[in-house]
């Protein structure tokens, strides 16, 4: 299996400095990071480790759920997955405290209970979920009507 890489170039102090995160493997972009903007309500055009984790988790979960739906005899037509990663405080230090996965799906061949069972299995089996096992991860899964 491949290894994927990213790199960050940082200049300055935590509160006054900034950096650029480069997605090295895909070469699809370089993105600005800043600690003050990381902890602000408005990201102001910068990304953060939490946003990058949210992107990774939503993509990984969508792939894992597609697989679980197939194993259960269903066919995914469309899955809309979002991940909300919360940066909070624990023991006086910034800590990722929660991740909320939300998925809405159009699936042939599974009822709501079957979809929920597949979603729960994907939450547990997704490699990113496994890597983030120390974080409280919740799931809101439902079929679109």
Length of the chain in residues, anyone?
A: 145
What residues does each domain of the chain span? 7-39, 49-143
Sheet order of strands, 7-11 included: 7-11, 18-22, 30-33
Residue 114: both structure tokens together: 């079957």
Q: What percentage of the chain has pLDDT greater than the value 70?
A: 100
Q: Give the per-residue pLDDT at 56.
A: 98
Note whether 103 and 139 are within 8 A (CB). yes
- In the block, residue with structure tokens 């990774």: 56
CA dihedral sign, ordered 121, 107, 112, 56: positive
Number of Cβ within 10 Å of residue 31's Cβ equals 17
Stated pTM of the model: 0.94
Question: What phi and psi, each to the nearest 5 degrees, are found at residue 76?
Answer: -75, 130
pLDDT in tens, 70-124: 999 999 999 999 999 999 999 999 999 999 999 999 999 999 999 999 999 999 9
Looking at the structure, give the CATH architecture of the domain made up of residues 49-143: 2-Layer Sandwich (3.30)
Angle 24-66-1 from CA coordinates, rounded to 5°: 40
Distance CA 30, CA 139 (A): 30
**The predicted structure's pLDDT at residue 36:** 95
């Amino acid at each position: 299996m491949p290894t994927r890489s990213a790199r960050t170039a940082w200049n300055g102090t935590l509160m006054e400095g900034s950096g650029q995160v480069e997605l090295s493997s895909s070469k699809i972009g370089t993105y600005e990071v800043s600690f003050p903007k990381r902890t602000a309500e408005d990201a102001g055009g910068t990304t953060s480790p939490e946003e990058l984790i949210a992107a990774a988790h939503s993509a990984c979960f969508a792939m894992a759920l597609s697989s679980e739906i197939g194993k259960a005899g269903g066919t995914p037509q469309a899955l809309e997955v979002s991940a909300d990663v919360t940066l909070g405080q624990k023991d006086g230090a910034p800590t990722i405290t929660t991740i909320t996965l939300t998925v809405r799906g159009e699936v042939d061949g599974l009822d709501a209970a079957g979809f929920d069972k597949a979603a729960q299995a994907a939450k547990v089996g997704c490699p990113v979920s496994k890597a983030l096992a120390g974080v409280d991860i919740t799931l809101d899964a439902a079929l679109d009507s």
